[in-house]
Structures are given as structure tokens and as C-alpha cells.
Amino acid sequence: MNIDSLLGRAAARLSEAGSTSPRLDAEVLLGHVLGVDRTWLYTWGDRAAPVYERARFEALVAARAEGHPVAYLIGEREFWGLALSTSSHTLIPRPDTETLVEIALELAPTAEGRLLDLGTGTGAIALAFASERPGWQVTGVDRVEEAVALATANAESLNIANARFLVSDWFSSLTAECFDLIVANPPYIAESDPHLMLGDVRFEPASALVAGEDGLADLRRLIDSAMRYLCPGGWLAMEHGHDQAERVRQLLQAAGYHEVASHHDLSGQPRVTLGRVGE
């Protein structure tokens, strides 16, 4: 069986299993097994698929058909053009979260400063920002030790020297530190949300997805706590659910933040809300 035929059969199986991008999933999995990119697959599709690699690929396809995320199966996900290692201890970085990086860069026009990324996971947000602002000191924290180890390894593999990662339950390990910008993609899905039973999120850590108070508990906690760690004039920017923007703005305004505003993601949904503390 040649590569084109193998991919076609795999894509059909994944389509039957409910994948929304069966051909892409198949190509990414086969490229991972063969150690090639998708262009190579298009160019050499008439080549025979090696027997051993074919068996490995079919095992991955079977796992994907059961719903396991591609990022976990290959142990990698691209974010902001950076190749990040992934694991089941962390959320899978998603394109919508690049909106938070874009906003953070807009809020950081100076050559130097200090940024804190809360609940850093793979380190995606912190490392994307650090790669664009090499003069800034970037700190990422996560309460999960395995996540901190993964983020640290990602920084090392990408040769990003201006980012450090610490074990911390939100601000618990930070003392007398002041940041110009605090960003976070906290848990914001309500416990009753039916989407928790669908797609990749079934396999992601619930502690990084679900929050009480209809998904607002952690957002509220960060809004209340961040003021003590922001330098005068500093910004807090947070990702949230598409239907939470108005409530998050209200929480920020009630806490005393200024210049409160929401920004939309790539699909046009309100995804990031921010506020600034006084000078």
C-alpha cells in the first residue's frame, strides 16, 4: 500500500469516528511517524508505506478514532510558530489563545518590563511573549509540577532564556514582586457545560478547564488578587468564555480597574478582557 492510499483509508476511518479534520489528522500522524512534513507526503504519495511505520501509524489512527487528541499522540503542538512539547498534564494550546498573546504584546510597547503568566501549562503564552520581547523578564507559574517541568523543557528546547517557570498556586509562591503585565488563561468552563463531553477536552485535565460559579470562580479570584502584584499602571488581561465578557468587565470595574475592554478572537467571539490599575 502506498502513502496516498494509506492516508485515504485513515482519513475515512477518522471521518466515520467523527473527526472534524480527518485528512489533516491523518497527515499529521503519518508525518510524525515518518519524521517528515506534509509537503513530503504530497510529493512522495506514490511511495510504498514501510511496514513497521505503517503499524505504528495505524495504532495512532486507532487512538485518534477513540478521541485521543493529536497533540497528545504526537507529543507536540505548534503555537505562535513555536513547536511545544505537550502532555496530558496540561491543556493543549489553541489558536484562540494567540489572541491573548497579541493583546499582551500591544500592552508591552517598551523594550523592558516584567510579565507574569498564571497557569502557564506548556508555557505557550509565556514563551510566545518572551520570544517577541527578549528584553522582558517573563515568569510563568502553575500549581502542577509536571506542567512547570514541561514549560521549562520547552523554554530550553526553544533557547528562550528570558522566561522562568515556578510551581505556584496562582500567586502563592510570589512575594513582594511587581509585574507590568499579568496574563492568564484560567479555568472558565462551567461544570454543567455539555462541551466537556465532546472532542479533545474529554482527555484534558479537568482542573485546567472547569471552574465553579458558572465558570467565573477563578476569573474572580485573579481579578481580586492581581492588584497586589501589578506595578502602578500595570495591566491584567485574561482569556474567558465567549459568553462571559460582559460579566468579566463588570468584575474588573467593580474591583477598581480602569480602561476595561474586551477583544475578539479569530472567530469573532469576545475572548480576552483586560483592565489597568492606577498609576
Q: Which of 20-29, 212-221, 231-240 has the lowest mean pLDDT?
A: 212-221
Same domain for 105 and 18: no
CA dihedral sign of residues 188, 193, 195, 201:
positive
Q: Return the higher-pLDDT residue of 209 and 176.
A: 209
Q: What is the mean pLDDT of residues 208-236?
A: 93
pLDDT for 214: 83
Q: Strand 179-184 to strand 230-239: parallel, antiparallel, or no bridges (unpaired)?
A: parallel
The reported pTM is: 0.91
Same domain for 103 and 59: no
pLDDT for 115: 98
- The boundaries of the domain holding residue 159 are 76-276
Tell me phi and psi for residue 78, to 5 degrees: -85, 135
Domain-terminating residue out of 67, 90, 105: 67
Number of domains in the chain: 2
User: Which domain CATH number covers 59?
Assistant: 1.10.8.10
pLDDT above 80 (res 272) = yes
Give the integer Cα–Cα distance in Å for 44 and 250. Answer: 56
pLDDT above 80 (res 229) = yes
Same domain for 255 and 163: yes
Same domain for 267 and 150: yes
Per-chain mean pLDDT for the chain = 94
pLDDT for 224: 96
Domain-terminating residue out of 27, 43, 67: 67
pLDDT above 80 (res 192) = no
The answer to whether 16 touches 64, Cβ cutoff 8 Å, is no
Give the integer Cα–Cα distance in Å for 75 and 120. Answer: 17
pLDDT for 279: 81
Same domain for 144 and 198: yes
Same domain for 115 and 30: no
Tell me phi and psi for residue 231, to 5 degrees: -70, 160
User: Which domain CATH number covers 231?
Assistant: 3.40.50.150
Same domain for 214 and 137: yes
Same domain for 62 and 81: no
Same domain for 42 and 93: no
Same domain for 145 and 266: yes
Same domain for 184 and 96: yes
Domain-terminating residue out of 17, 36, 67: 67
pLDDT for 266: 87
pLDDT confidence tier of residue 168, bands split at 50, 70 and 90:
very high
CA dihedral sign of residues 148, 95, 220, 162:
positive
Same domain for 212 and 250: yes
